[in-house]
Amino acid sequence: MDRRGDHRPQFDIYRKVPKDLTQPTYTGAIISVCCCLFILFLFLSELTGFIATEIVNELYVDDPDKDSGGKIDVSLNISLPNLHCELVGLDIQDEMGRHEVGHIDNSMKIPLNDGEGCRFEGQFSINKVPGNFHVSTHSATAQPQNPDMTHVIHKLSFGDTLQVQNIHGAFNALGGADKLTSNPLASHDYILKIVPTVYEDKSGKQRYSYQYTVANKEYVAYSHTGRIIPAIWFRYDLSPITVKYTERRQPLYRFITTICAIIGGTFTVAGILDSCIFTASEAWKKIQLGKMQ
């Protein structure tokens, strides 16, 4: 017998089944269509997850912005509708010995209510040590008889402004604070715990900001002369814990592995299901044939 023409490779693990040994069925066709639709759905879901950027957060103990010179930039925007602008001032002091009364650099006062009120907007820096800054009449040349410290805080933020959609942090926790109905002669204490925050994008660029929690109290304070001199105090302290947000994208190899697992797993399960249905159908036909005989 001539075997010269039989040179088929013996190492092919994907052996082919002749077409005349296979049998198409309507059930198999339905399962095949459902299988392809299911694979398409999972593929699009995985593709969406692969394209989207994932944000991972972590905590550690460190001072992330070592190039800041031990400073934190502060942005304050506050309205006092019942206090003249010439009476409004910003004072800064901390545990490093800083004591600045009437800070005016990078700040402006905007008259409100025909000059009866004032909106203070300021950009300044504080040292990375416990301290406070406060809005008061301390820097005025003459103290008013009944200063009115009712106010609305539009913005108080520290460091860079992070406008990232998937981060819901307390970067402007006091924004919108309304004390217009409080006692006009009351002082307000806002006690802040500042948390350093780092945001690193996919390119590795880092931005440094600060979140903060706040507690507040309201009280009437008297000077040594017995006069009431209210103020709006922002007392702060820094947390040693840093929060870091990192942008990440799913690696390509993981995406390919997942797609292969989806295709292989779906076809395997569909094949098992089709085989079970076909076997049950054949067994039922034999039972019916036996009853007829």
Q: Domain map of the chain by residue range? A: 59-248
What pLDDT score does 77 carry?
A: 97
Q: Bigger pLDDT: 243 or 25?
A: 243
Q: What is the pTM of this model?
A: 0.72
Give the pairing type, strands 89-94 and 99-100: antiparallel
What pLDDT score does 72 carry?
A: 94
Four-CA torsion 60, 65, 66, 71, nearest 10 degrees: -120
CA 134 to chain centre: 29
Average pLDDT over residues 145-171: 87
Give the pairing type, strands 131-136 and 152-159: unpaired
Beta-carbon-side half-sphere exposure of residue 60 (alpha carbons within 13 Å): 8
pLDDT tens-digit map of 240-251: 999 999 888 778
Q: In this predicted structure, which of 23-37, 79-93, 121-135 has the lowest mean pLDDT? A: 23-37
CA angle at 134 for the pair 130 and 137, rounded to the nearest 5°:
150
What pLDDT score does 7 carry?
A: 62
DSSP strand E in 107-186: where? 107-112, 117-127, 131-136, 152-159, 177-178
Average pLDDT over residues 197-209: 88
